[in-house]
Structure 1
C-alpha cells in the first residue's frame, strides 16, 4: 500500500514504475535496491527480470567508511528498503541469515575436501567468505512472464558463473502474474523452465529444487582459492513457455552471494599455480576466467577480489553486447 504522501497525489498518482525507480541506485551500479532493464542481454536492455538487492546481514558493510564506499560502491553502499512494503526488510533479512548460516557448514566441508588435496589450503574458503568478509549480496528476482513478442527466447537469464565463494538459492515460486496467486502444484509447468546447469561432462541439466530444500552453487572465488579443486557452476535460467490459452506465469526466487571482502587478496593455495585454477576453464558459454583474472608474475600473485569483480562486469558486458 502506498503511504499518505503518494495517496495525496490523487490527481496524478505515481505509476508503479516511478515508485520502483525511486529505489534505483545508479551510483552503486544498480547492485543495491531496485534494478530493471539496467543489464543488457544480446545487445538489448534485459527486461525479462527485475531485481531487488540488499545485504541481509550488514545494513552498512562499510561501517561508515566513505572512502571504502566510494572505491567499491557496488559492494559497500548502505541498504535501502521500500517504505511501501514495510514487512519486506525483516523477511529479506531472515531468509538471508538462514541461507548464510547454512552455507557456513557447507563451506567448512569444502575446506576439508580442498585440504585433502592441498594441505596448505587450511580453511581459506571459510576465512575468505565468513571470518574476514562483510560482502554479501542478497537478490530477490522476479522473472516476468514472456510476452508474445519474446516467447521464442527461452533465456530468462543467460549463461554465467557466479563470482562468489558460494551462492545460496531458495526454491523458486511460480505465480500467476495477473493476480500474484501461486500456481497450484497440480498445474503442469513447462519441463524446460527454471534453473539449468552445465556439468563437468558438458551435459546440461535442469535442477528443480524441492520446496523444503536450499541449493548451493560453487562460485569462481572458490575455484581460485581452492586451486581448481572446486569448479564454478555455469548456469542459466530458462523461461516458462506459455501454452495456448494459458494464463501468464512468472517466477520468483532469492539468491545470496557469499563473497570475499571487496579488498581481499585471493589466490590458489601455496605452491599451486593458476594453471590448476584454469584447467577446466569454460570458454564457450561465458567470458573466460583467464581474461578476468588480471594478475602479474609470479603465477601465485593474489588478485584483489573487488578488482576482479569489476573486470568481470566489464567482460560480461562486452560478451552480452
Structure 2
C-alpha cells in the first residue's frame, strides 16, 4: 500500500483469517481498525476455501472473453428495460463530465435467489427495475459454464461476507444501544437486492493527445486521477472484491485469429488466460481516500478477498463504521501493451423494504435518493 503524497502514513490495511471469522474471535478493536472513523474502510480475508483461486482465475478470464464477443452477441444480453443494470452494459453510464463511460464493460447479475422474495420485490417496487429484473446469461455455446462459475464464485463471496457481517454484528451488540443481533448477517445472506458486477476495464488507447495531456500533469496529481472509475461511495453494506487480473490482450487475445476456442477437455470451460504478475504502471488499480484525505493504493493478494464498507453499513452502525470513498486509476498512456483489468465486485444490499436508518427509511428510498442525486 502506498500514498503518492508526502505526509503522515496511511492507516493500516487489516487482514484476518477466515477461520477466526468462523470462530467469532476477531477482536472488536480489529474491526474498529478496519472499518472505524480513522480506518481505510476495508478488510482482507485470507485462508479462503480451496476452490477460490481456480474460480477467480476462470471467471476473471471470462470477463475478457465476454467483452471481446461481437457487438451483436453482446446486444442480446443487454437489458435496457432494466436500465442496463442487469446483463451486459458498456457506454450507457454517464460520467461526471457528461461523457459516456466507454472505458469499462460490466456484467450484472443478482446472485441470491428466493422466488417469494423476488416476487415481493417486483410487486412492492415495480419501478425499481435495477434491482428486480431477472438475470440474463449468454448462450452456453457462446460462453460455456459462464453462469455456473459466476454464481459459484459469488456464492463463496457472499458466504464469506456473511461471516464478516456476523462479526460486525458482535460489534453492534457490544457497542450500539438497541442494535439487534444478526442484523447485518441477515442482510448479507438473504437479500435478493444484492448485486454482482463482473468488470472489464478495456486497454486504454495510446493516443498521442492522451500522452501529451498526461505529460503536462504534475506528479502530485497522479493520486487524484480516477479515469477508470470515478471517486464514489458504495451504496450497500459490504462490498466483496477479488484481486484484479491484468491480461495483455495483444499477447493473449481472448479469441485467436483462427477463431478456435480453447476449452478444458474435462470441465468444458474456456481455458483461463495468462495473467500478468502486475501492471507496467504501478499506480494502476484501486485507490482509497482515507478519512484524513490521504489517497492510498490497495493491493489485494490473489488468495484473499477484500470487503469494504458502504453507506448502508454506516447508517446501520450509526456512523461507527464509515463508508469508504474509492476510485480506480487507469494506466498512463504508453505503459505496456493492450492490457485489460478484470475484477469482480459483489455489493451486498438490504432488501428494498428493509429499514436502514433511524428515520425509518427503507433501502429503496435510500437507493432512490442517492442514485437520483448521482452520488
Q: Report the TM-score when normalising by structure 1.
A: 0.78
**1:121 aligned residue (179, 201, 223):** 179
* Offset at residue 243 of structure 1 (A): 3.2
Deviations 1:290-315 (A, max 9, x none): xxxxxxxxxx3211111221221221
The alpha-carbon distance between structure 1 residues 86 and 57, as it changes in their structure 2 partners (threshold 3 A), is farther
1:17 matched to which residue of 2? 71
1:137 pairs with 2:195: yes
Distance 2:192 2:236 in 1: 13
1:146 pairs with 2:204: yes
Structure 1 unaligned residues grouped into runs of 5+ = 1-14, 268-299
1:52 matched to which residue of 2? 107
User: What pairs with 1:183-262 in structure 2 (closer than 5 Å)?
Assistant: 183-185=275-277, 189-243=280-334, 246-262=336-352
1:94 matched to which residue of 2? 152
Structure 2 unaligned residues grouped into runs of 5+ = 1-68, 215-224, 255-272
Distance 1:19 1:313 in 2: 29
Does 119-128 or 144-153 show the bigger shift? 144-153
1:76 pairs with 2:132: yes
Does 152-161 or 28-37 show the bigger shift? 152-161
SS at match of 1:306: helix
RMSD of aligned alpha carbons: 2.1
Aligned residues: 268
* Offset at residue 68 of structure 1 (A): 4.0
The alpha-carbon distance between structure 1 residues 148 and 242, as it changes in their structure 2 partners (threshold 3 A), is closer
The alpha-carbon distance between structure 1 residues 67 and 77, as it changes in their structure 2 partners (threshold 3 A), is same
User: What pairs with 1:156-171 in structure 2 (closer than 5 Å)?
Assistant: 156-171=228-243
The alpha-carbon distance between structure 1 residues 188 and 260, as it changes in their structure 2 partners (threshold 3 A), is closer
Distance 1:251 1:136 in 2: 23
Distance 2:226 2:323 in 1: 23
Q: Report the TM-score when normalising by structure 2.
A: 0.67
Distance 1:95 1:104 in 2: 14
* Offset at residue 211 of structure 1 (A): 0.7
Return the structure number with greater relative CO, CA threshold 8 A, min gap 6. 2
SS at match of 1:44: coil
Does 70-79 or 51-60 show the bigger shift? 51-60
1:39 pairs with 2:101: no
* Offset at residue 71 of structure 1 (A): 3.0
Deviations 1:100-143 (A, max 9, x none): 00001101111222333213113322233335x22210110000
1:176 pairs with 2:248: yes
